[in-house]
Amino acid sequence: MRKILFAVLFFPLLALAQYPTKPIRMIVPFPAGGPADIFGRALAQGMSEQLGQPVVIENVGGVGGVLGVDRAIKSSPDGYTLGFNSGSTLSIAPYSFAKLPYDVKKDVALITLVVRVPEVLAVHPSLPVNSLAELVAYAKANPGKVNFGSAGGGSITHLAGELLKAEAKIDLVHVPYKGGAPAVNDLLGGQVQMGIFDVPILLGHIRAGKLKALAVTSAR
């Protein structure tokens, strides 16, 4: 499973030749330091250089990205508010929440796919496993004693853990956070034992020996 990030325009851009004439706000519905924030800032920098106006990131985390999406949708419809979202906020949230404060089909206009990112299943070094098979065996021998952190309920990182639970028939405890960054911080600190997150935000920690990588969601 791959996480798909989108740049999303919530309101039609003004059809003016001089657009933009002022800074553009890009809302990232997750905390700073997470994958969406990292990719969003890279996109904003490139856009600023090409458009000649600053593209300012605003992080609005919470409820698996729903709060940030709602903030963007309720912004002034002047063409100066963009949203940078993951697939979870647009394709998963409508089916994982009983009611959303917005309608994805009516209130959001997609601009482009920005990046596809594979996920990596990583565990804290204190967990006595070194492969996916060992993790499954350990979880079966210790039902309910292995927990995993996610970027929030209904996020791809949450559903990936639930899929592992269902396919491997193991009992893992889900610990939701308000974004990937705080979840990874607690994974590094051992407050949670495992997580399935974007490769870019875990790769440095894995290479430094702070986390153990057990599997990836891509072919290689």
CA distance to 22, 41, 100, 110, 162, per residue, from 58 (Å):
16, 10, 21, 19, 30
Taking CA 177 as the corner, what is the angle to CA 171 and CA 4, rounded to the nearest 5 degrees? 90
Axis crossing angle, helix 199-207 with helix 180-189, rounded to the nearest 10: 20
Helix (H) or strand (E) holding 104: helix 104-107
Q: Picking from 85-94, 155-164, 180-189, 195-204, which range would have the lowest pLDDT averaged per residue?
A: 85-94
Q: Report the C-alpha gap between 123 and 210 in whole angstroms.
A: 9
Give me the torsion for CA of 171, 99, 11, 67, rounded to 10°.
Answer: -50
Q: What is residue 1's DSSP assignment?
A: -
Walk me through the domains of the chain, giving residue ranges and CATH numbers. 2-117 (3.40.190.150), 118-216 (3.40.190.10)
Instruction: Report the range out of 36-40, 77-81, 103-107, 143-147 with the highest average pLDDT.
Output: 143-147
Those residues with Cβ within 8 angstroms of residue 186's Cβ, 6 or more apart along the chain or in another chain:
149, 175, 177, 192
Dump pLDDT digits (tens) for 81-95.
999 987 778 888 888
Average pLDDT taken over every residue of the chain: 88
Predicted structure pTM score: 0.75
Query: Which pLDDT value is given to residue 50?
Result: 92
> Over 50: is that where the pLDDT of 97 sits?
yes
